[in-house]
Amino acid sequence: MASPRLETFCCPNRDSATEFVVTFQPVLFGALSLCSAAFSFFLTVLQVLPKRKSYRRLGHYPVPRPASSTRILLIISVCDLLGCAGIIMRSSVWLGLPTFTETISVANSTDVWPEVFCVGSAMWIQLFFSASFWWSFCYAVDVFLVVKTSAGISTIVLYHMITWGLAVLLCIEGAAMLYYPSISDCEQGLQHAVPHYVTIYAPMLLVLIANPVFFSRTISAVTSLLKGRQGIYTENERRLANEIKIRFFKIMLVFFICWVPNLINESLLFYLEVQADINDGGFRNIRNAVLITWFIMGILNPMQAFLNTLAFHGWTGFDVDFSLQRRRELAWDSLSTSAPNANSHNPIVGTTLLFQSHVQGAQKNVMGKGEHASDGVSVLSEGNSTMSGAHSSPQKSYQKKKTRAVSGYRRTM
């Protein structure tokens, strides 16, 4: 689980609220966290591995570079996996070596390794989950820029600088302020701990507040682009817009489910921390709520890795392809969809954003004033309806070209 309370626990002179929640049934909590993290880690790896059904059987053609949003989704999954690995390592040590972790609570202990492990594992988990938050924010920004300005793969370098720079900076700054002047003698008081908590929850709140705004504006922009220059909004275009809307809704739903319990738990703990006696009978319901949300966090935080892959790609199955030769020919995001069927319509959009490459491609081939964006989306939105049967008229021939464009795009994802 990712909580600043676990970093505060590394201080022998920790506050009473942290002592209360971290020392309550630590074996049960560690076992639940370990099982949840291991389960999520295994299924996430299974989700992102290449599948045999994704192998291209429709001829030989070069594989284009994946779009920036596709790479961002991969990076988010990697960050989640590394965060889960940290939870697995920490929970395993806490369960397997209870005497090792008990010395953390001993002030002026000569054995520094328990504190080093406590701080190191907590910072590892914080770093990669914070990076996952920053990358989630960059994803929302990127899909918006793709629609509005046709931002491309070149922005990925800027995203790397922003996300990793902020994640590392805030992680180090928060730890330095928390453990000042030393780990064995941390300064007490909310005014000293609050900056540390802000460095952890600031990116989380940014995603919770800003991402829905960017997704909403992206959906509005996509709807306008799908209508095209002729103002026609067909059933296929409406279906495409709904699929994009559902994709964004799933991403935010996963984030809310996994991380809102953290905000509730932290608010309750802060309330207890400012009380003179947290064991007072009048705070019984609050203490129960703290413990309930604490265990919910231990289960749901690691599950973000697996739930994110479901939101991004859907269930990709167990048919893993371990062939190295085939794996080199696959683009990573092909995990989310099989090769298009020539006689049926695939209702699931297996791409990061189905319109992204077509918007970018169309804006490179301007056909006239105000027409380039709508042309790109029309190629995308109408392709599904032309994937069966042969056509002979010029209009149907044009539909065939659009079908090949969409089919080629889907094979790249």
Q: What is the pLDDT of residues 272-325, one digit of tens each?
A: 888 888 888 889 999 999 999 999 999 999 999 999 999 998 888 888 877 755
Is the pLDDT score of 255 beyond 80?
A: yes
Q: What is the CA radius of gyration of the chain?
A: 25
3-state secondary structure of 181: strand
How many other C-beta atoms are found inside a 10 Å radius of the C-beta of residue 280? 12
What is the token pair recorded at 52?
Answer: 């045999």
Task: Name the residue with tokens 């964004």.
Answer: 248
Residue type for 293, please?
A: T
pLDDT tens-place string over residues 207-243: 999 999 999 999 988 888 777 655 677 777 788 888 8
**Among candidate residues 138, 278, 257, 265, the one with its CA nearest the CA of residue 200:** 265
Which residue bears the tokens 């799908």?
226
CA 283 vs. chain centroid, Å, equals 36
Polymer length of the chain: 413
Distance (Å, rounded) from C-alpha 385 to C-alpha 60? 24
Average pLDDT over residues 245-254: 94
Nearest one of 51, 54, 45, 105 to 77, comparing CA atoms:
45
Q: What is the mean pLDDT of residues 191-214?
A: 87
- The yes-or-no verdict on residue 65 having pLDDT over 60 is no
Alpha-carbon gap, residue 73 to 404, rounded angstroms:
26
Residue 385 predicted with pLDDT over 90: no
Rounded to the nearest 5°, which phi and psi values hold at 320? Answer: -75, 140
Asked whether 139 and 69 are in contact (CB, 8 A), the reply is yes
CB-count exposure of residue 276 (10 Å: 0-12, 13-18, 19+): exposed
Average pLDDT value for residue range 322-342: 47
Question: Is 275 in contact with 13 (CB distance < 8 Å)?
Answer: no
Q: What is the pLDDT of residue 237?
A: 78
Note the pLDDT of residue 148: 80
What does the mean pLDDT of the chain come to?
75
Question: 410: pLDDT confidence band, cut at 50, 70 and 90?
Answer: very low
Give the residue among 402, 361, 357 at the shortest CA–CA distance from 382.
Answer: 402
What pLDDT score does 209 carry?
A: 95
> In 3D, which of 7, 37, 32 has the Cα closest to residue 302?
37
CA distances from 174 to 13, 183, 241, 242 (A): 18, 13, 41, 41
The Cα–Cα gap between 122 and 128 comes to: 10
C-beta atoms surrounding 389 within 10 Å: 10
Q: How far is CA 96 from CA 7, 78, 124, in A?
A: 20, 27, 20
In this prediction, residues 76-91 reach a mean pLDDT of 95
Read off the DSSP letter of residue 182. Answer: E
Q: How far apart are CA 214 and CA 207, in angstroms?
A: 10
Q: Which residues pair with 15 in a beta bridge?
A: none
The two tokens of residue 310 are: 């479901």
Distance between CA atoms of residues 386 and 340, nearest Å:
12
Strands (E), 135-244: 181-182, 185-186
Q: Do residues 163 and 189 lie in contact, with contact meaning Cβ atoms separated by under 8 Å? A: no
Amino acid 400: pLDDT: 46
Peptide bond into 181 cis (omega under 30): yes
Residue 387 CB coordination number (10 Å): 21
Q: CA-CA distance, 3 to 134, in Å (whole number)?
A: 17
Cβ neighbours for 66, distance < 8 A, ≥ 6 positions apart? 153, 331, 332, 333, 412, 413
